[in-house]
Amino acid sequence: MKRPSVDTAGTHRRLSRRALLLGGAQIGFMAMLGLRMRHLQVEQADQYRLLAEENRINIRLLPPARGEIFDRNGVPLAVNQPSYRITIVREDAGDVEQVIDALSNLVTLDPVKLERARTEMARSAPFLPVTLADHVTWDEMSRVAVNAPALPGITPEVGLSRRYPIKGDFAHVVGYVGPVSDYDLSKIEDPDPLLRIPRFQLGKVGIEAKQENLLRGKAGTKRVEVNSVGRVMRELDRREGQPGADLQLTLDQQLQSYVQARLGEESAAAIVMDCQTGDLLSLNSSPSFDPNLFVTGISVPDYRALTDNTYRPLAAKSVQGTYPPGSTFKMVTALAALEEGVITAEDTVWCPGHLDVSNRRFHCWKRAGHGHMTLAKALRESCDVYFYEVALELGIDRLSAMSERLGLGQRFDLPLSGIASGLNPSREWKETVRGAQWLVGDTVNASIGQGFVLASPLQLAVMTSRLATGRAIMPRLVKSVDGVDTGEGPSDLLGVNENHLRQIRKAMFDVSNNRRGTAYGSRIIEDAYRMAGKTGTSQVRNITTAERAAGVTKNEDLPWERRDHALFVNFAPYDNPRIAVAVVVEHGGGGSTAAAPIARDITLRALHGGTPPLAAYPAKDRDRIEAQEKRLNALIPDRDGNVGGERA
């Protein structure tokens, strides 16, 4: 049936309106799209052009050469050497395991590092290189290069790694570097982007750690073109970084190595210090370790061997160790008493072998007593009772003040790890730390360097330098940075009466040169080298009344860890002090037998600048010394680290 004309006209009108609405919407949408495109392409063109360029060009960091470390004469102590490594790119290798098997026929692959590389490959992009072996030899690199066509995806690379040519002789001072760990990053508030470079090395202890910012240098950059998945297509340009600063230390390599050889495998520490400048000429802790083991990550067995050693080879005893200074502290008591007018050089004290104070008996090391003692005799023969009596009149306040003036209880500002401040006890310290009042017996103990008093070998060397010169000598370890000297002007005077210092020095001279002196057996007989010193023996255990009645057990009959510490300090030459020496032998027994002979040999070597003449030693010792020096000289490495024998 034919539709009426009215219905047809209405339908046509409705369709026309819809077409207009739809067309208008389409035109509006196109207009908005056009405006948006204009906004992006015209108004924001520069911004998106920059983003596109950044997606195509990456800027990557170039690690700088680490600053090197030298001794005072230019002998290298920490250097950079080419480090050869072999990497693999998974996508280029094809059958990775087959390539690794082929490589293992040419190069020795560490199973642990190989497994670590497999793990890294599994979680990395296929086009990123992964290290299979590092620190490979040149011969191994050559074999890999020759067989490159049969090793798809394998690339031999060269970089820089740290090496310590003198090995253990400077381990506690220079320290070592190692791969950056998550723990290292967690300790730094705003880590340098350099530290996130794979296999980047960071100073862990010693100067390497404390001077990290100077030694690290500034990163360089290179611009590389990458494709859409991040693969490097080509290098566009590069800007080399700024190498780290070179450091020159005050230490003398030949002296340092001699001292290390002289200490042998004793658990000990020794310091040689320039009396005039404060330069540390040697800074030794024994036994030591090879810092090269830590550069790429030490193995578990090697690390356990170090940590399980009773003699603690990882500890820098010369600055970290603190010990009761024993009788080496008696110069402090004597000088304080002279300065305060408590005694004069002529005053005498009777020593019957003990002193009773507050219902407690304090013993002298000489059970029968020393009899009448003057200051000079008391220091020469190390009479304890003399200093007990002096301390009762002096008091802890004045004793503590003199101790501080001579450098004890201070933490010196050196670029070393874990420098100990020791302990210079006072009334306030005991009340704050121990929650108890200071007792008169505490003062008696402190007067001979026992009780609460603790000092490091470094502090004892500083104390001796100040006594020798009358100046507030400060220790210095870094001589120059990139050739610029770090030295300061002359030290201030201590403000101590020079006549009193002369009396102390003369008594120390008698310790080593008078027949009744406790160090007479370790004297130097050549006038140009004569030394003034003081022995010390510090107890590490309490001696009971019953043991004293039955007879005190000899050190050699005790377990090693219960024996007394042996100490000796000295300066030389006596008439014109040039060096101060401090030696501590842990659980070595008596200072006169264990520490003084070592200090005498070190002193002569430092003053002479090499093997000293046998005429400087007592005639009875010369045959033994000649054999000893020949053996030790064979253990001293040259500037390249080569030695003539193995260290015992």
User: What pLDDT shows up at residue 541?
Assistant: 74
Q: Of 284, 293, 342, 292, which is closest to residue 315 (Cα–Cα)?
A: 284
Instruction: Tell me the residue type at 538.
Output: S
Q: How far apart are CA 416 and CA 408, in angstroms?
A: 18
Distances from the Cα of 87 to the Cαs of 118, 129, 153, 273, 415, in angstroms? Answer: 12, 6, 8, 48, 37
Burial environment of residue 369 by CB neighbours within 10 A (0 to 12, 13 to 18, 19 or more):
middle
Please write the tens of the pLDDT for every residue from 143-174.
888 888 888 888 887 878 899 999 999 999 99
Residues 6+ apart with CB under 8 A from 631: none
Percent of the chain with pLDDT over 70: 90
User: What pLDDT shows up at residue 227?
Assistant: 61
Cβ pair 241, 217 in contact under 8 A: yes
Cβ pair 493, 466 in contact under 8 A: no
State the DSSP H helix or E strand holding residue 349, giving kind and residue range, or none if neither.
Answer: strand 349-351
User: What pLDDT shows up at residue 136?
Assistant: 85
The pLDDT confidence band at residue 648, using thresholds 50, 70 and 90, is: very low
Mean pLDDT score across all residues of the chain: 89
User: What pLDDT shows up at residue 580?
Assistant: 98
Please write the tens of the pLDDT for every residue from 349-390.
999 999 999 889 999 999 999 999 999 999 999 999 999 999
User: What pLDDT shows up at residue 240?
Assistant: 81
Domains in the chain, start-ordered, CATH in brackets?
54-75+166-249 (3.90.1310.10), 82-159 (3.30.1390), 253-289+315-479+491-633 (3.40.710.10)
Question: Among the listed ranges 323-337, 382-396, 536-550, which one has the minimum average pLDDT value?
Answer: 536-550
Question: What is the number of alpha carbons within 13 Å of residue 13 lying toward its C-beta?
Answer: 6
Please write the tens of the pLDDT for every residue from 427-459.
999 999 999 999 999 999 999 999 999 999 999
Residues 6+ apart with CB under 8 A from 123: none
**Mean pLDDT for the stretch of residues 398-403:** 98
Rg (CA), the chain: 36
User: Would you call 94 helix, strand, or coil by DSSP?
Assistant: coil
> What interhelical angle do 330-339 and 457-469 show, nearest 10?
40
**Mean pLDDT for the stretch of residues 5-26:** 69
Percent of the chain with pLDDT over 90: 62
Cβ pair 458, 271 in contact under 8 A: yes
**Mean pLDDT for the stretch of residues 171-179:** 94
Q: Of 602, 634, 631, which is closest to residue 270 (Cα–Cα)?
A: 602
Q: pLDDT: is 638 or 26 the higher one? A: 638
Match 């019957």 to its residue by tokens. 352
**Mean pLDDT for the stretch of residues 205-232:** 80
**Mean pLDDT for the stretch of residues 571-579:** 97
The distance from CA 489 to its chain's CA centroid, rounded to whole angstroms, is: 26
Instruction: Report whether pLDDT(646) > 50.
Output: no
pTM as predicted: 0.85
**Mean pLDDT for the stretch of residues 19-41:** 76
Instruction: Report whether pLDDT(519) > 80.
Output: yes
Question: Among the listed ranges 209-218, 225-234, 596-605, which one has the minimum average pLDDT value?
Answer: 225-234
**Mean pLDDT for the stretch of residues 191-196:** 81
Q: Which residues are catalytic?
A: 327
User: What pLDDT shows up at residue 420?
Assistant: 96
**Mean pLDDT for the stretch of residues 592-618:** 96
